[in-house]
């Protein structure tokens, strides 16, 4: 029988939430908090967790080997289709936090996530519930404000809208922990791993690194003492969002597109190629000049990222990272270019950004079988069409010349490597 307070309701429980939110919650000092978890819509994850009392093994996969610990922070698991359980959980006097990992799609106008949140909040209002915080753990800039707008758009009752304005906080957060898909081999390997839950069928595999930067906007809202577990509480998450987007995510994009063109399959392979590493360093130099964090913190972040990228036992596939470039490149790469030009109109586009855009152009035109992005330009697109998608304002003669030259260098490198740019290899994706 758990002694944890079921104070957190989580929507979209999956491997990342179990490696991140649940892990931090279990490690927090003070009275133990528990998580009532809901899947998206499928019942499978809820059934699997319930079958083993919601306990599972977290396997931390370092380059030197695996370690295991049992996580029991989840106290109940329900399918997302159980609307009654959802309303009851959000309305409960025990609940003061609702967290989400529903991907970017969950905040769009055609998603049912905002309506489900409003349904739960209405039940809480009707039950006389107190203040509550809704916390997005998805990779969105200013995700708290994005979530606030999504919820507001789904409220069609004026009285409820007023209640939400008065009773609901929307802190922004930045989260980071690479969590690969669990394989049959991972499950089988638990038998020989000290500390693993006996008979576990749903373990989670993750990297040693974990980070959570959370806006300190919980006035009147009870929460776990996450800061005792390493969570960084700040007044403004923006600089940390930028650091992640421009350093980690920007490097992922250039490694994905350039790496696949040079015949690589994983991040570890690509970052070990001096040509890819040089492109990452150039991109990072350009991004670092625009970051507002202390220089030593940026330097430490870059060093940590190289260690994470090089971990050969975390199979982070380039093909999965490459998805959605039309939405990702504007915030990961183009935003830095614009800030660079605003600061110094004569600076132009840097070689790192030029390489990233050129690699995406070649990915779309020479590797069409690998493109899973409805917003991407077609295989016959020229550079003007590519820039029209991600940055129409950058379609200038100097930028076109720089990106074209970078594309020529990539083609030459791919030719020297002998990689077949259009020949996909089958990889299993990884949640980043």
Q: Is 144 in contact with 172 (CB distance < 8 Å)?
A: yes
Same domain, residue pair 280 and 201: no
Residue-wise pLDDT tens digits, 250-273:
999 999 999 999 999 999 999 999
Q: Which of 201, 216, 236 is the last residue of a domain?
A: 236
Distance CA 246, CA 333 (A): 7
Distance CA 100, CA 93 (A): 19
Domain of residue 19 covers 5-236
Same domain, residue pair 198 and 306: no
Residue-wise pLDDT tens digits, 227-249:
999 999 999 999 999 999 999 99
Residue-wise pLDDT tens digits, 110-141:
899 999 999 999 999 999 999 999 999 998 88
Same domain, residue pair 258 and 204: no
Same domain, residue pair 146 and 166: yes
Q: Is 308 in contact with 178 (CB distance < 8 Å)?
A: yes
Evaluate if residue 421 carries a pLDDT over 60: no
Same domain, residue pair 199 and 226: yes
* CA atoms within 13 A of residue 81's CA, in its CB half-sphere: 7
Q: Which of 187, 221, 236 is the last residue of a domain?
A: 236
Q: Is 213 in contact with 237 (CB distance < 8 Å)?
A: yes
Pairing of strands 179-180, 430-431: antiparallel
Could you tell me the pLDDT band of residue 402, with boundaries at 50, 70 and 90?
A: very high
Distance CA 409, CA 382 (A): 17
Query: Which residues are CB-neighbours of 297 under 8 A, at least 6 positions away?
Result: none
Distance CA 415, CA 413 (A): 5
Query: Which residues are CB-neighbours of 161 under 8 A, at least 6 positions away?
Result: 152, 155
Same domain, residue pair 309 and 163: no
193: three-class secondary structure by DSSP? coil
Same domain, residue pair 130 and 28: yes
Give the count of domains, the chain: 2
Q: Is 430 in contact with 317 (CB distance < 8 Å)?
A: yes
Distance CA 143, CA 159 (A): 25
- 8-12, 232-236, 311-315, range with the lowest pLDDT: 311-315
Pairing of strands 97-100, 5-11: parallel
Same domain, residue pair 354 and 285: yes
> Whole-model pTM?
0.89
Q: Is 276 in contact with 256 (CB distance < 8 Å)?
A: no
- Give bridge partners of residue 366 from the DSSP assignment: none
Average pLDDT score over residue span 52-66: 96
Same domain, residue pair 243 and 328: yes
Closest by CA to 68, choosing from 58, 78, 76, 77, is 58
Identify the CATH number of the domain in which residue 278 sits: 1.10.1040.10
Evaluate if residue 13 carries a pLDDT over 80: yes
Same domain, residue pair 246 and 323: yes
Same domain, residue pair 56 and 202: yes
Q: Is 156 in contact with 193 (CB distance < 8 Å)?
A: no
Task: Find which of 51-60, 107-116, 314-323 is predicted with most confidence, using mean pLDDT.
Answer: 51-60
């Amino acid at each position: 029988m758990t002694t944890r307070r079921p104070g957190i309701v989580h929507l979209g429980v999956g491997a990342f939430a179990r490696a991140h939110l649940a892990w931090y919650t279990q490690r927090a000092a003070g009275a133990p908090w528990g998580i009532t978890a809901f899947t998206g819509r499928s019942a499978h994850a809820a059934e699997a967790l319930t079958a083993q009392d919601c306990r599972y093994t977290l396997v931390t996969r370092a380059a030197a080997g695996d370690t295991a610990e049992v996580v029991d922070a989840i106290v109940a698991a329900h399918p997302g289709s159980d609307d009654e359980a959802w309303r009851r959980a959000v309305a409960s006097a025990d609940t003061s936090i609702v967290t989400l990992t529903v991907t970017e799609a969950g905040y769009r106008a055609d998603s049912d996530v905002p309506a489900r949140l409003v349904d739960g909040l209405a039940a809480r209002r009707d039950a006389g519930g107190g203040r509550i915080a809704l916390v997005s753990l998805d990779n969105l800039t200013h995700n708290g404000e994005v979530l606030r707008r999504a919820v507001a758009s789904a409220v069609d009752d004026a009285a409820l809208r007023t209640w939400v304005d008065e009773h609901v906080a929307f802190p922004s957060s930045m989260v980071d922990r690479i969590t690969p898909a669990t394989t049959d081999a991972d499950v089988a390997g638990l038998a020989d791993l000290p500390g693993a839950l006996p008979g576990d069928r749903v373990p989670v595999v993750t990297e040693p690194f974990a980070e959570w930067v959370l806006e300190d906007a919980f006035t009147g809202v009870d929460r776990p003492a996450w800061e005792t577990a390493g969570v960084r509480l700040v007044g403004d998450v923006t600089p940390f969002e930028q650091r992640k987007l421009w350093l980690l995510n920007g490097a992922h994009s250039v490694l994905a597109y350039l790496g696949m063109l040079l015949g690589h399959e994983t991040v570890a392979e690509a970052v070990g190629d001096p040509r890819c590493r040089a492109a990452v360093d150039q991109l990072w130099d350009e991004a670092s000049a625009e970051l507002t964090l202390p220089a030593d913190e940026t330097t430490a972040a870059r060093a940590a990222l190289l260690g994470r990228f090089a971990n050969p036992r975390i199979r982070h596939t380039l093909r999965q990272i490459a998805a959605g470039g039309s939405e990702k490149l504007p915030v990961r790469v183009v935003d830095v270019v614009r800030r660079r030009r605003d600061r110094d109109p004569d600076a132009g586009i840097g070689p790192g950004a030029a390489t990233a855009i050129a690699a995406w152009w070649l990915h779309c035109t020479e590797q069409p079988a690998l493109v899973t992005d409805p917003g991407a330009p077609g295989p016959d697109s020229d550079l003007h069409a590519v820039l029209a998608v991600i940055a129409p304002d950058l379609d200038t003669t100097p930028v076109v010349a720089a990106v074209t030259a970078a594309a020529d260098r990539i083609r030459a490198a791919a030719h020297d490597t002998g990689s077949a740019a259009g020949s996909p290899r089958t990889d299993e994706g990884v949640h980043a």
